[in-house]
Amino acid sequence: MKGDHWVSKALCYNSAAYCILQGLTNRSHILGRIDTITPPSPRINIDPQRRAWGIMLISFAVFCTICLVTGIGIIYFLFQSSVPLNGTMEVARGSGGITGQEPIRLNASVSNNDGLSTDPLSQATITLSDPENGKQIVVAMTLRGDTSLKLIRGTRPRFTWSSGQYIVELQDFRGELNVYIPKRLSRELNVSILTRAGDLIYLRSGGQYILRASDARVQVINQSGDLILKPSNVDIGKSIPANNQGIISYADDPNDVAISPANTNLVGDTVFADDLQPLSGTDQGGQPFIKDWVCNDNSNPNGKAYSTMSDGRPVLRFLRDDNATSHGETGCVRSWPRDGQNVESFNYLSLRATFKINYQSLSACGQDGSECPLMLIVEYRDKNDVNRRWIHGFYYFIDPNRNFPLQCNSCLQAHEQINEKTWFTYDSGNLLNLIANPDQLAEQRPVSIIDIQFKSSGHQYDVMIGDVALFADLNANP
């Protein structure tokens, strides 16, 4: 061994290549010894049965998840999914606005997320109806002049057998909105209206409502129905009973709703539609009203006054056809006995009427301006015990070849032109400022109302009347 070592050393001195080779050989011996000492990495051996159970449990969990998601999706689709209601805008006067469209002159379709508006001289009615239930009207909203809002959604359940609600949601409301909801809907209804200031109005049943929102206050009038008004910074709103009003005054307390009786309707204690007789048989004669109003016809051939349904609402219809070419009148009167209805203490009188003119044969209001398809008349007695009369008429058709007057001789204001076959709500404003000549207002101020009349006059006419009321208040600007 010693000899070999010296031999190797000698060879190293004699040959550098041999030394390098010898060094590599020694290194390989060392590495070989290390490999034999370090144990190999252990391998994990899983029992095949356990692996099979794991795969089966994971697959079952995935299957259950798929079934759960699918089941929830089917339940939602069948019982909770919704579809839009049919929406239309009908312009009664002027033009209506729909976001992204040209001004609407007559009618147009309305969709969810549309912005809707009227200018100060215009009026339009938005009607939402159920396409799956004979186009039943769900809600009709009349936008008075200078009113705007956004229809976020108007929906019904996808299937007729579902128990879901009609849902109508409006936002950014400003102006005046007259709302009509039928009292007998096929399902429950929830209407929510959010003002620009964030106040919330809930309408939860059929009825008639007047809603106003401005920069100074929110006023809601519940003529008949179920209404809740909630200020923006309050969690719970207040219920406004029928024949009452709720007001949020931003100058006084924006977090409080003041409730008080609404303007007094001098015509009666119920709304117009509730006083109509049942629909059957009234077109063959008899009185169409249960109380308050008395109707008559002075025509040959005869005209008719009877209760019916129009656009989902109960109405009184005046109809005279048979190609009549002679003068005729069909009308109704609400009169007060003895000395009439005393109004001397009131500082505000407003005549409101909602109607639709389907047809008229004469141009405008006839050659004397006294034959309008609809005329509103207030007879009253002034402080000098003189009987006086205020008359205002409405029409839609003008023959350009006939220069008929647009105001009767005894009328203080010109008659109004509206669009054909479209609902229109007329509000006189304070009649005390209209009912007499300005220079004679003090002398001609009404002391008592003798009667109120509405009638159709002319040759042939077809008119639907949905509401007539005379509101009174102690304040000049209620």
DSSP state of 107: E
371/469 same-domain check: yes
Residue 10's pLDDT is 42
253/343 same-domain check: no
Residue 172's pLDDT is 97
Domain end among 207, 238, 262 = 262
239/383 same-domain check: no
252/399 same-domain check: no
- Residue 26 within any structural domain of the chain: no
- Interval 158-192: pLDDT, tens: 877 777 889 999 999 999 999 999 988 888 999 99
Residue 6's pLDDT is 42
SS3 category, 170: strand
296/223 same-domain check: no
CATH number at residue 239: 2.60.120.1440
CATH number at residue 352: 2.60.120.260
235/371 same-domain check: no
Token pair belonging to 289 = 């009203």
Residue ranges in the chain whose pLDDT is less than 70: 1-46, 76, 78-80, 280-285, 436-442
Domain end among 262, 286, 321 = 262
Decide if 266 contacts 449 (C-beta within 8 A).
yes
444/310 same-domain check: yes
Residue 381's pLDDT is 92
- Residue 27 within any structural domain of the chain: no
SS3 category, 174: strand
312/433 same-domain check: yes
- Residue 31 within any structural domain of the chain: no
User: Per the structure, how many domains does the chain have?
Assistant: 2
Peptide bond into 301 cis (omega under 30): yes
Residue 38's pLDDT is 55
Residue 3's pLDDT is 47
Alpha carbon distance 165, 167 (integer Å):
6
Residue 322's pLDDT is 86
- Interval 289-327: pLDDT, tens: 999 999 999 889 999 999 999 988 899 999 999 899 999
120/218 same-domain check: yes
- Residue 332 within any structural domain of the chain: yes
Domain end among 262, 281, 314 = 262
Structural domain span for residue 463: 272-473
- Residue 68 within any structural domain of the chain: no
344/466 same-domain check: yes
